[in-house]
Structure 1
Amino acid sequence: GLAGGIVGCAPGTEKESEHTAGVEKTAYDPKAGEWIPTTCNMCFNNCSIKAHVIDGVVVELTGNPDSSIGRGHICGKGASGIMQLYDPNRITKPLKRTNPKKGFDEDPGWEEISWDEAYGLVDERMKAAIERSGPHAVTGMSMVASQIGSLVRHTALGVIYGNAEGSCSDICGAGVHQIEYLFTGTGNARPDYVNCNYVVQFGTNAGTATRHGYNMTVEPFAERRKNGLRHVVFDPHMGAAGEKADLWVPIRPGTDAAAALAIAYVLVHEENLIDIEFLANRTNGPSLVDLDTKRIVFDEKTGHSLYMDSDGEAKPYDRCSAPQLEGTFEVDGRQCSTGFTLYKEHLKTYTPEYQESITTVPAATIRQVAKELGEAACIGQTTEIDGVTLPYRPAAVDAFSGITRHKHAFHSCWAVFSLNNLIGSTNSVGGFCGFDPICNGWADDNPTMSWRPGLWEPEGLIDCAGLLLAFPNSYYKKVYEGDYTPTTMGMMELQPMSDDNHFEHIAQAHPDLYRTQAAEVALCYACNPIKWWGNYDEQAEIFKNYEYVVGIDMFLNESSYFYDVILPECCYLGRPEPLPHAAG
Structure 2
Amino acid sequence: MNFSRRTFLKSAGAATAGIAAVTSMPKKMLSWAEDTAQKDMKQVPTFCELCFWNCGLVAKVENGKVVKVDGNPLSLRGRGRLCGRGNAALGALYDPDRLKYPMINTGKRGEPVWKRATWDEALTLIAGKMKGIKEKYGAESMALIYHGTGASFWKHLLHAYGSTLSAAPSFAQCRGPRDVGFYLTYGSDVGSPEYYDFSKSKYIVLFGSHLGENAHNSQVQDIVSGLADGAKMTVVDPRLSNIASKADHWLPIKPATDLALILAWIRLLIEEGLYDKEYVAKYATGFDGLRAAVQQYTPEWAETETTIPKEMIVKVAREMAKQAPHVCVGAGRYAAWYGDDVQRSRGIAILNALLGSWGRKGGYFFPTGAKVPEYPGLPAYPEHEEVAKLDGAYPYAALQTTTSIRQASSSGKPRPVKAWFVYGSNLMKTMPEKQETIKAIQSLDLLVTIDTMPMDIINYSDVVLPECTYLERHDNINVGKFNGEAEIAIRQPAVEPLWESKPSWWMVKELGSKLGLAEYFPWKNGEEYIAKRCEAGGIDYAQLKRDGVIIKKGGAPYITADSQPEFGTPSGKIELYSEQLAEKGFDPVPKYTKHPQPAAGQFRLLFGRSPLHTFSRTTNNFMLTDLQKENHLWLNARKGKELGVKDGDYVFLENQDGVRSPGRIKVKLTQRLRDDVVYMYHGFGVHAKAMTRADNRGIADDDLITKSAVDPIMGGTSMRGNFVKIVKGA
TM-score after normalising by structure 2: 0.56
Match of 2:129 in 1: 125
> Is 1:423 paired with 2:363?
no
Mark the CA change 1:187 to 1:125 in structure 2 (over 3 Å): closer, same or farther: farther
Contact 1:196 1:224 in 2 (8 A): yes
The answer to whether residue 47 in structure 2 is matched with residue 39 in structure 1 is: yes
CA contact (8 A) 1:85 1:571 kept: yes
* 1:401 to partner: Cα distance: 4.7
Cα drift, residue 406 of structure 1:
3.1
2:189 is matched with 186
CA–CA distance in structure 2, aligned partners of residues 254 and 533 of structure 1:
20
Deviates more, 1:82-91 or 1:220-229: 220-229
CA distance in structure 2 between the aligned counterparts of 1:533 and 1:395, rounded to whole angstroms: 34
Aligned to 1:201: 206
Take 2:397 and 2:446, find their aligned partners in 1: how far apart are those partners?
A: 32
Q: CA deviation at 1:581?
A: 4.1
3-state SS of 1:572 partner: coil
Query: Residue 175 of structure 2: SS of its match in structure 1?
Result: coil
Residue 254 and residue 542 in structure 1: after superposition, are their counterparts in 2 closer, same or farther (change >3 A)?
Answer: same
CA RMSD between the two structures? 2.5
Contact 2:184–2:346 (Cα < 8 Å) also in 1: no
Once the 2 structures are TM-superposed, how far is the Cα of residue 578 of structure 1 from its aligned partner? Answer: 7.1
Asked if the contact 1:203–1:403 (Cα under 8 Å) also holds between the matched residues in 2, the reply is no
The worse-fitting range, judged by mean Cα deviation, of 496-505 and 229-238 is 496-505
Aligned pairs (5 A) from 1:65-464: 65-99=73-107, 101-103=108-110, 106=111, 108-143=112-147, 146=148, 148-159=149-160, 161-169=161-169, 170-184=172-186, 185-188=188-191, 189-206=194-211, 208-210=212-214, 214-270=216-272, 272-285=273-286, 340-377=287-324, 393-401=325-333, 403-433=335-365, 435=367, 438-439=369-370, 441-442=371-372
Give the drift of 1:74. Answer: 0.3
Range 163-172 or range 70-79, more displaced: 163-172
Provide the C-alpha distance between the structure 1 equivalents of 2:400 and 2:231, rounded to a whole number of angstroms.
Answer: 35
Instruction: Write the deviation string for residues 40-85 of structure 1: whole angstroms up to 9, x where unpaired.
Output: 0001111100111111111111111122221111001111121111
Does structure 2 retain, via aligned residues, the 8 Å contact 1:96–1:564? Answer: yes
User: Contact between 1:38 and 1:578, CA under 8 Å: does it hold in 2?
Assistant: no
Q: CA deviation at 1:402?
A: 6.4
SS in structure 2 of the partner of residue 52 of structure 1: strand
Aligned 8 A contact 2:405 2:417 in 1:
no
Q: 1:536 to 1:341 in 2, by over 3 A?
A: closer
Q: 1:522 aligns with which of 420, 424, 432?
A: 420
Asked if structure 1 preserves the Cα contact closer than 8 Å seen for 2:174 and 2:334, the reply is: no
What runs of 5+ residues in structure 2 fail to find an aligned partner?
1-37, 377-385, 482-486, 488-730
In structure 2, what residue type is equivalent to 1:48?
G
1:535 maps onto 2:433 in alignment: yes
Q: What secondary structure is seen at the aligned counterpart in 1 of 2:57?
A: strand
TM-score by length of 1: 0.69
User: Aligned in 2, Cα 1:85/1:191: closer, same or farther, shift over 3 Å?
Assistant: same
Q: Aligned partner of 1:422: which letter?
A: L
1:120 maps to amino acid: T
- State the partner residue of 1:501: 401
1:224/1:33 CA distance change after superposition, 3 Å? same
Q: After superposition, what is the alpha-carbon deviation per residue over 1:15-46, rounded to whole angstroms, capped at 9, x for unaligned?
A: xxxxxxxxxxxxxxx94422211100001111
| Alpha-carbon distance in 1 for matches of 2:119, 2:185 | 48
Change in CA separation of 1:73 and 1:443 when aligned onto 2, cut-off 3 Å: farther
Change in Cα spacing, 1:506 to 1:138, as seen in structure 2 (3 Å) is: closer
Per-residue CA deviations over 1:523-555 (Å, capped at 9, x if unaligned) read 111122233333333322321221121111122
Q: How much does 1:433 deviate?
A: 3.2
Cα shift at 1:175: 1.6
Q: 1:572 Cα shift?
A: 0.3
3-state secondary structure, aligned to 1:266: helix
CA-to-aligned-CA distance 1:223-280 (integer Å, 9 cap, x gap)? 221111111111111001101112111111111111111111211112x111222212
Instruction: Tell me by how many angstroms 1:347 deviates.
Output: 1.7
Partner AA of 1:192 in structure 2: D
3-state SS, counterpart of residue 496 of structure 1 = coil
Unaligned runs of 5+ in 1: 1-29, 286-339, 378-392, 447-484
Provide the rounded CA distance (Å) in 2 between the counterparts of 1:442 and 1:532. Answer: 30
Aligned residue type for 1:488: K
Distance 2:351 2:436 in 1: 41
Q: Assess if the C-alpha contact under 8 Å between 2:410 and 2:439 holds in 1.
A: no
2:128 and 2:436 mapped to 1: Cα distance? 28
Deviation at 1:496, TM superposition (A): 2.0
| SS of alignment partner, residue 198 of structure 2 | coil
Give the 3-state SS of the residue equivalent to 2:200 in structure 1.
coil
Secondary structure in structure 1 of the residue aligned to 2:174:
coil
Partners of 1:575 and 1:506 lie apart in 2 by: 31
Whether 2:389 is the aligned partner of 1:488: answer yes
Between 66-75 and 532-541, the greater mean CA deviation after superposition: 532-541
Give the drift of 1:195.
2.1
2:680 is matched with: none
* Structure with greater Cα Rg: 1
Q: Amino acid of the residue matched to residue 35 of structure 1?
A: Q
1:191 CA displacement: 2.6
- Partner SS state of residue 507, structure 1: helix
Distance 2:95 2:452 in 1: 9
CA distance in 1 between counterparts of 2:374 and 2:128 reads 37
SS in 2 for 1:432: coil
Between the aligned partners of 1:487 and 1:232, the Cα distance in structure 2 is: 46
Q: Identity of paired residues, percent?
A: 28
- Mapped to 1, the partners of 2:395 and 2:337 lie a distance apart of 16
Give the superposition deviation at 1:510.
4.7
Cα distance per residue 1:301-360 (max 9 Å; x no partner): xxxxxxxxxxxxxxxxxxxxxxxxxxxxxxxxxxxxxxx212112221111101000001
For the structure 1 residues 511 and 582, does the alpha-carbon distance in structure 2 shift closer, same or farther, using more than 3 Å as the test? farther
Q: Could you list the per-position Cα deviations for residues 145-165 of structure 1 after superposition, in whole angstroms to 9, with x for gaps in the alignment?
A: x2x233332232112x01110
Alpha-carbon shift at residue 564 of structure 1 (Å): 1.5
Give the SS at the match of 1:38: strand
Structure 1 residue 419 displacement after superposition: 0.9
Q: Is the 8 A contact 2:206 2:329 kept in 1?
A: yes
- State the distance in 2 between where 1:509 and 1:152 align: 23
- Work out the CA distance in 1 between the residues paired with 2:439 and 2:327: 50
Asked whether the equivalents of residues 410 and 443 of structure 2 are also in contact (C-alpha less than 8 Å), the reply is: no
Distance 1:403 1:562, change over 3 A: closer
Pick the aligned partner of 2:446 from 529, 548, 569: 548
Q: Alpha carbons of 1:402 and 1:116: their partners in 2 closer, same or farther (altered >3 Å)? A: closer
Distance 2:373 2:404 in 1: 37
Contact 1:44/1:582, CA 8 A, preserved across alignment: no
